[in-house]
Amino acid sequence: MNDDYPAFRKWYSILNWILDRCDTYPKSVRFSFSGRIADLALDILECLIEAIYSKDKKVRLLQININLEKLRMFYRLSHDRKYISSRQFEFIATELNEIGKMIGGWLKNAQGK
């Protein structure tokens, strides 16, 4: 059923990329900084599942937007601190913007009902 939702499919793909990158962070920040990134990414997955199966999607979709914004800041900081390359930063920034648009559209639709 989750495969019927493009936002879920998209996030699942992004989540795999995020989790793979978290393993490459320096050991000094792997359990703090990259752990927070992984936690936020997994929280978004949970919120997506909850949004799919709940009648009131608005609260969960708004939480996803907040978590996406947090991830944007963590990735900007990751790039500034050279934990990820410019190419990786460009990729994840594009992906986060794209999923943000998808969630925004879903939220608009949910508010209209």
| Residues ≥6 apart with Cβ < 8 Å to 10 | 95, 98, 99, 102
pLDDT on residue 112:
78
Q: Is 2-112 a CATH 1.20.140.10 domain?
A: no
Q: How far is CA 1 from CA 35, 51, 69, in A?
A: 29, 13, 27
pLDDT on residue 2:
62
Residues of the chain scoring pLDDT < 70: 1-3, 113
pLDDT on residue 37:
97
Please state, in angstroms and rounded to a whole number, the distance separating the CA atoms of residues 6 and 83. Answer: 30
Residue 26: phi and psi, rounded to 5, are -60, 145
The domain ranges of the chain are 2-112
pLDDT on residue 4:
82
